[in-house]
Amino acid sequence: MTDSTFDKSRNLFERAVKLFPGGVNSPVRYFQPHPFFVESANGSKLFTNDGNVLIDYCLGYGSVFLGHGNQEIGSEVKHQIEKGNLFCIPTEKEIELAEVCTEIIPCAEMVRIMNTGAEATMHSIRLARAFTKKTKIIKFEGGYHGAYDYVLNKAGSGAAVQQYADGILSESSAKTITMPFNNFEALESTIKKDENQNDIACIIVEPVLANTGLILPEKEYLNDLRNITKENNIVLIFDEVITGFRLALGGAGEFFGIKPDLATFAKTLGNGFPISLIAGNKEIMSGFAPSGSVYQASTFAGNPISVTAALKTLDILTNKKNTIYPNVARTCDKMVKAIRDIVEGKKLNVTVNSIGSMYQLFFTKNPVRDYASVKTTDGKSFDRLFRTLLSKGIFIPPSPFETCFVSTVHNEEDLEKTIDAYEFALSKVTNI
Ligand SMILES: Cc1ncc(COP(=O)(O)O)c(C=O)c1O
């Protein structure tokens, strides 16, 4: 098989860079010397403008759990387009979606539908501050909740590559406390400090950190978070933008058996259509205007296209949950086992973390359990791995601070090709 080349993409990037800052519309899409351009996508595959077919493990940064261009969702959406695409007036479908969510999501007594993950996390923090009448928030190093002022401290995803602090008022992030993940003692002593004791409004956490590579919560850690937040009148927010409907139908809340006060969802919710929501405790959720005094509003919130896509996605996931979740986890486990075997055979200092349909490989032999350990991994080797995989038709997110995602439509053939590519790529990684 010949290696993929990206000449057309290079030409397109030359046009793009004159028009968009850095040539892209979101920083994580850029990688050196230039990103490739996609013409279409289907199932597990991306088709680039250069004529390359790539097996996709980025999947819209975890959004496209059921694969690209799902026909069932597409046909519902087409039908809805014929009936109108934006009303800004309530629809029955919004109620149906909320009813499904209250069935599926353990903490959902009420929901508010929005458009993006950042909107959902931002407004859940505002809601928590209003409910508790406290001001400070706690987030975790490497946790990513969106590109807005007060959660970019030591954030993951693209913000992990360098600290992007320009344009952010120090006042706006002065109330954000950033703690190491998986370190309950540090968290407990911070909460107990005199200056914090009565002023922490919420803890916002990705229950599985998936924007700084992939980091699993250690045993009891999420339970400890639940207990300490209850004891101190702190709102616990699970940011399930990635884990929601992916780790289990009911997200990490179901998977780990823990009920946060609020939880935010996006990505898999619409299988690639832009939609997000906050779900949670009725008393807290009632704080949103117009029933309460926390203002949250959006022209596109609850638009019938995204709601239709979400309804169909959740319908598919609900009806097939007994096969979808075990099967996708099996596919991911197979891949992870094969990668671990390759690594062992080549005696490489590599650690692979995985859970459900997500995995990431780190160039270190040490356990990767927090942001500090991710930062010690060898970026050059990761870069080499990424480029070699790409040349062999495999697309993983271009950064070690992201997670690789498996969809429900990745098949045996994809898996074999991917494992062969890892075997080849890992034989090229020499400097570890
Ligand atoms: C866990 C998490 N929260 C929030 C966000 C922000 O979502 P969006 O990019 O839709 O604003 C992301 C995006 O990657 C995310 O992974």
Cβ(61) to ligand 1 under 6 A? yes
For the CA of 157, the closest atom of ligand 1 is: 14
Q: How far is the CA of 152 from the centre of ligand 1 (A)?
A: 12
Higher pLDDT pick, 2 / 409: 409
pLDDT at residue 170 in the model: 85
- Catalytic annotation on 56? no
- Catalytic annotation on 267? yes
Last residue of a domain, one of 319, 335, 359: 319
Is 1 inside any structural domain?
A: no
pLDDT, tens only, 9-68: 999 999 999 999 999 999 999 999 999 999 999 999 999 999 999 999 999 999 999 999
Last residue of a domain, one of 293, 319, 345: 319
pLDDT, tens only, 393-419: 999 999 999 999 999 999 999 999 999
Q: How far is the CA of 155 from the centre of ligand 1 (A)?
A: 11
pLDDT at residue 153 in the model: 83
Cβ(371) to ligand 1 under 6 A? no
pLDDT at residue 9 in the model: 97
Kindly tell me if the per-residue pLDDT of 431 is higher than 60. no
pLDDT at residue 165 in the model: 76
pLDDT at residue 430 in the model: 65
Within a 10 A sphere around the Cβ of 82, how many other Cβ atoms? 7
* Percent over 90 (pLDDT), the chain: 91
User: Quick one: pLDDT band at residue 166, thresholds 50, 70, 90?
Assistant: confident
Is 104 in contact with 81 (CB distance < 8 Å)? no
Count of structural domains within the chain: 2
Across all residues in the chain, what is the average pLDDT? 95
Is 405 in contact with 62 (CB distance < 8 Å)? yes
Cβ(36) to ligand 1 under 6 A? no
pLDDT at residue 209 in the model: 98
Kindly tell me if the per-residue pLDDT of 359 is higher than 90. yes
Mutate which of 28, 59, 121 to test ligand 1's pocket (most atoms within 8 Å of Cβ)? 121
**Active-site pick, 57, 136, 239, 392:** 239
Check which CATH number belongs to the domain holding 356 and give it.
3.90.1150.10
Last residue of a domain, one of 289, 319, 349: 319
pLDDT at residue 25 in the model: 97
pLDDT at residue 161 in the model: 65
* Residue whose token pair is 């916002």: 204
pLDDT, tens only, 320-353: 999 999 999 999 999 999 999 999 999 999 999 9
Distances (CA, A) of 147 to 72, 159, 398: 32, 8, 19
Q: How far is the CA of 67 from the centre of ligand 1 (A)?
A: 19
Q: Are residues 248 and 334 in the same domain?
A: no
Cβ(239) to ligand 1 under 6 A? yes
For the CA of 61, the closest atom of ligand 1 is: 14
Cβ(145) to ligand 1 under 6 A? yes
Check which CATH number belongs to the domain holding 293 and give it.
3.40.640.10
Residues spanned by the domain of 59: 7-69+323-428
Is 394 in contact with 417 (CB distance < 8 Å)? yes
Kindly tell me if the per-residue pLDDT of 432 is higher than 60. no
Q: How far is the CA of 326 from the centre of ligand 1 (A)?
A: 25
Cβ(274) to ligand 1 under 6 A? no
For the CA of 26, the closest atom of ligand 1 is: 9
pLDDT at residue 263 in the model: 98
Q: Are residues 296 and 340 in the same domain?
A: no
Q: How far is the CA of 427 from the centre of ligand 1 (A)?
A: 34
Q: Are residues 137 and 52 in the same domain?
A: no
